[in-house]
Amino acid sequence: MVEPPNPSPTDLSGRWRAHVDDGDLARRFVDADFADDDWPLVDVPGHWRQAPLFADTDGPVLYRRTIEPTPLPEGHRRFLSFDGIFYFGDVWCDGHYLGATEGYFFGHSFEITRHAGAAPNVLAVEVASPRQTDRTAKRTITGVFGHWDNLDPDWNPGGIWRPVRVRDTGPVRISWLRVLCTEATEARGQLRLDVTLDPGEIPPEAPISLVAHVVDQSGTVLAEVTTPVELTRRGTTMRVPITVEQPPLWWPWRHGRQPRVHVEVRVEVDGVRSDHRRVTTGFRDVTVRDWRWWVNGEPIFVMGANHGPTRMALADATRDELARDVELAKLANLDLLRVHAHVTRPEFYEAADAAGLLLWQDFPLQWGYSRGARKQAALQARRMVDRLGHHPSIGTWCAHNEPLAVDFQPGEPVPPKAAARVGASMFLPSWNKDVLDRSVSHAIHRADPTRAVVVHSGVLPGVGSVGTDSHLYFGWYHGQMDGLAPALRRFPRLGRFVSEFGAQAVPASADFMAPERWPDLDWEHLFEHHACQKRLFDTHVPPALFDTFEAWQLATQRYQAALIQLQVEDLRRLRRAPTGGFCQFCFADGHPAVTWSVLDHERVPKVGYAALRGSCRSVLPMLEPRRGLVHVANETRTAYAGAVVEVDIDGRRRRFTGDIAAGAVTFIGPVHLDHRTGEVALTLTHPALGTVEHRYDDVLDWLRIVNDR
């Protein structure tokens, strides 16, 4: 037997023929001799709405493509692989039905060995992405793409949105591979490989073996395992542990380096390679208990933000754009991004691994789902682990974001019946919380016992539930901006991990708002398609108080920045008493919108980005502005003896000298703010740190405005 002649897949990306399903076209277009010369061309990968002729359709859309013939030696096999179809797919080759797909973020493969020959092959794919008309009982597992106020609800992401490939193997292929890190200490590391081998219709009689290597980034082999395989007609699934002595440990960027290793797996038939895979992973241990985080045994106070799709048309995001979002999060001094209710592109996870940025990965469930979604959700949850489990950056999974049966857009007045329904969904047992979420979380945990699983996010304590992480929008949906810390002191259970807080702000890239119409903006359109919640702006930063759009725009950004600075520092002061960390909402926009983001869709920073970056520094002198209390937060593992903290209030300077504890918040002393008229500046000085400055202006100004109302 010779090795497969085409070990690298053939990429079918490019221009495909496409047409909206019309009449009996879906029945006829699968025929190999169907004439499609007059069909328009669309890009694959891509979303069909990016093509002008399909900009207004919800599909289904029919795709066709011809594959040029290539030889296939006897005994070898050929597979057609779709990395992602959004959301349903039916696939034919030369008029023969290959099968159906469901699920947007993972791949599907079909064997086309019998179609390999001297003639071209014709692919026909019907793709459907149905709009969910009942948003309290959705059936498709699409997360934020199917229901979220931060994206345009009219957008349909349907299409063959990830690459399509043809790949040849020998007689036995690796049909499934999952790689998990099960142990990581300075002395010993262990990886677990779950592998399924597919022997085809007739298993070969020659000896079969599975060979796995762990190789570091310099090419040095760290470990090797060879395992004989007994094949069955239905395939063979096996679990292979690989142990590495003194492994290179992966750390979050604030605490160490990010070495990674390559796991190379191949199946051999009579000593000849039949198929192979290569996965990049890392050795690290992430533990989350009672919302407190440890990495490789070191406690970490997690400072993060929620992150939606890099682009609403996620297929169009470039590798550089995906990596830039990771780098901008790191530049903002964040430890973590929560991939909010969606699974994004592989390049994003690769960038997070390289940058040392932790990820909280949501499964794509958001708000209410029908009972018919349960089985498919559990299946897709396992596929999520298969696809992402090897990434060292992923620290925890979450099964469902806000399992509430909501049928209104946040920011609009809530009808009484809807309010009662939401309250019941939150505080009483419900099908979403107690059946769907437990099924999904159990599926994730069975697939990956190495990571913690959040059953559902944003659930307050209620009947039969102690609650989970908290979504607390003081200063936006409820209360005032300075109300977060007092609420958490009164109800500590709500402060274990605050995974959403923030306020909307108008972006710098605001041409979509037609600012020349000020003050007569199309508020209804902005609310429906661009998330702008004018009803709440009227409460916090009323447009009617400003003569120009630019003045209001800046005021909204200053308000958001003040809220972020105050609430981030409130949470840092509650470090592990009871708070284990936080995620600000949200980091960056995927399309033109007025949201809670600190980076707009063009990645132009709002004032809030600088506030987030400044308040998340590793070592930070902080002022509690309600009572004039000075603290220093230190997230490093180094104590700083003899540090000097100076507080400048309108030219009056107060000086403190003392020791800054490692991995803790140190109380410094009180100052008087009663007669302040200008900004307050804090300066921390130490030989090992240099000088760290932190200023308070917007926070104090907005607190005065809020308290004067």
pLDDT band at 463 (very low <50, low <70, confident <90, very high): low
Q: In which band, very low, low, confident or very high, does the pLDDT at 236 lie, cut at 50, 70 and 90?
A: very high
pLDDT, tens only, 415-442: 666 666 777 777 788 999 999 999 999 9
Task: Tell me the C-alpha distance between 91 and 605, whole Å.
Answer: 44
Q: What is the pLDDT of residue 285?
A: 98
- What whole-number distance in Å separates Cα of residue 610 and Cα of residue 699? 13
- Between CA 131 and CA 394 the distance in angstroms is 31
Q: What angle, 0 to 180 degrees and rounded to 10, lies between the N-to-C axes of helices 698-708 and 549-573?
A: 100
How sure is the predictor about 6, in pLDDT bands with cuts at 50, 70 and 90?
very low
Residues present in the chain in total: 709
Q: Looking up tokens 């007059």, which residue turns up?
A: 38
| SS3 label, residue 139 | coil
344 touches 623 (CB < 8 A): no
What pLDDT, in 10s, does the model give residues 373-384? Answer: 999 999 999 999
Tokens of 664: 């803790």
Average pLDDT over residues 603-607: 98
Domains along the sequence of the chain with CATH: 10-169 (2.60.120.260), 173-281 (2.60.40.10), 286-617 (3.20.20.80), 629-708 (2.60.40.10)
Grade residue 449 by pLDDT with cuts at 50, 70 and 90: very high
Instruction: Give 178-218 pLDDT, tens digit per residue.
Output: 999 999 999 999 999 999 999 988 888 899 999 999 999 99
Residue 623 parent element (H or E): strand 619-624
- pLDDT the model gives residue 21: 94
pLDDT > 70 in the chain, percent: 97
Q: What is the pLDDT of residue 676?
A: 81
DSSP 434: I
**What pTM did the predictor assign?**
0.96
What's the average model confidence in pLDDT over 542-567? 97
Mean pLDDT of the chain: 94
pLDDT of residue 3: 57
pLDDT (tens digit, 9 = 90+) per residue, 142-181?
999 999 999 999 999 999 999 999 999 999 999 999 999 9
